[in-house]
Structure 1
Amino acid sequence: MNMLVYMRQAQNNDLVDIVTIIEAARFYLKQQGINQWQLGYPNQETILNDLNQKNGYVLIAENQVAGYAVIVPGEEPNYTKIESGHWLNQATDYVSIHRFALSPLYRGQKLTQRFMTAILTYFFEQQVIDFRIDTHPKNMAMQAVIRDNGFTRQGIIRINEGGDSSIRWAYQVLLA
């Protein structure tokens, strides 16, 4: 099936669609027995902050918001300490990819791959070559997206999600 797919910066009028996507992702993770995002994070306030900081991006498919991701430039505090491994470099001018989610209406159409490729391409064109991301050790679907886009696992980081300290697998890719 041919469909127009592209990425753009998220806008305030995308909020309802983004929150819907995040809630569907939260439910999907729960169904998979994954405790990621189960303690109220991310929520509407988180998304509004993303939008205000101009860090939110949406994937558009068939003129609908089909996916959401946050790309944060600069040093990520949760990434400063890495266990059972190390980052490929000590740079702090990387971007972190967070809250990567796709609407269930578009699952199985390989749009997560296209979304990640769009992110990497867009930021590479802005001279960014260092990308970092993390996910829950049980989130096999996201791990596949990450690996299939050239990221390699570098170690473990710890995050505080809703008061719960949890481990996440940390990944990185350097583009040249």
Structure 2
Amino acid sequence: MTTVFMRPAIKSDLKAIATLIDGARQFLKSQGLSQWQSGYPNEETVATDIALNRGYVLVVGSEVAGYTALLAGTDPVYEAITDGQWLSEADDYISIHRFAISDGFRGQKLAQRFMTAILTLCYDKKQFDVRIDTHPGNHPMQSVITGNGFEKRGVVYINEGQEINGERWAYQLILS
């Protein structure tokens, strides 16, 4: 059996992560989604994540198979939620952003395993309030999110490149 684990992203992962995100961008485009179609996230975004120690990779064998960024504290995107509300008003939560699986590993249920590893890390760090958002049409990601116990809490709006006020469904999980 091949080893699968999550670790912090490092500078030497940057090229693999950029390729992975480009593949995810094309996958979203093929689904007719506007998500990630304005040049975000990009290599600079990921380099910043790595420099701030908030980027993580899923490794399968010796290959980078997934990427995400975990942001601690108040997330401006989540300040204004409509059509619902957060379960808590706390500002010490973790936001999961830039979650993607490489084209070469898509369909192997690794997204579920990656999310499990993320939640385990959050729990270990005593960060029990976890939030994430995705495009209303991104059904594969919604399945990963709800399949890990997150509840839809409302709608938030993002500004990605040329996409202004892009609607995203917001989810939350309180680990206990």
Report how many aligned residue pairs link the two structures: 175
Deviation for aligned residue 1:108: 1.3
C-alpha distance after superposition, 1:98-124 (max 9, x if no partner): 000000111111100000000000120
Q: Percent identity?
A: 51
Measured on the aligned residues, the alpha-carbon RMSD in Å equals: 0.6
- 3-state SS in 2 of match to 1:59: strand
The 2-side partners of 1:85 and 1:137 are apart by 15
Residue number in structure 2 paired with 1:3? 2
C-alpha distance after superposition, 1:69-109 (max 9, x if no partner): 00000010010010000000101100000000000111111
- 3-state SS in 2 of match to 1:87: coil
Residue number in structure 2 paired with 1:64? 63
The reply on whether 1:171 has 2:148 as its aligned counterpart is no
- 3-state SS in 1 of match to 2:36: coil
Residue number in structure 1 paired with 2:54? 55
Partner AA of 1:60 in structure 2: V
Deviation for aligned residue 1:53: 0.8
The 2-side partners of 1:72 and 1:32 are apart by 27
Residue number in structure 2 paired with 1:118? 117
- 3-state SS in 2 of match to 1:40: coil
C-alpha distance after superposition, 1:45-83 (max 9, x if no partner): 111111111110000001110000000000100100100
Partner AA of 2:51 in structure 1: N
Residue number in structure 1 paired with 2:126? 127
Partner AA of 2:72 in structure 1: P
Deviation for aligned residue 1:163: 3.4
Q: TM-score, normalised by structure 1?
A: 0.98
Partner AA of 1:114 in structure 2: R
The 1-side partners of 2:55 and 2:33 are apart by 24
Partner AA of 1:175 in structure 2: L
The 2-side partners of 1:4 and 1:102 are apart by 16
The 2-side partners of 1:88 and 1:163 are apart by 31
The 2-side partners of 1:105 and 1:41 are apart by 21
- 3-state SS in 2 of match to 1:98: strand
Residue number in structure 2 paired with 1:139? 138
Partner AA of 2:85 in structure 1: H
Q: TM-score, normalised by structure 2?
A: 0.98
Residue number in structure 2 paired with 1:40? 39
Residue number in structure 2 paired with 1:89? 88
The 1-side partners of 2:39 and 2:159 are apart by 12
The 2-side partners of 1:142 and 1:21 are apart by 16
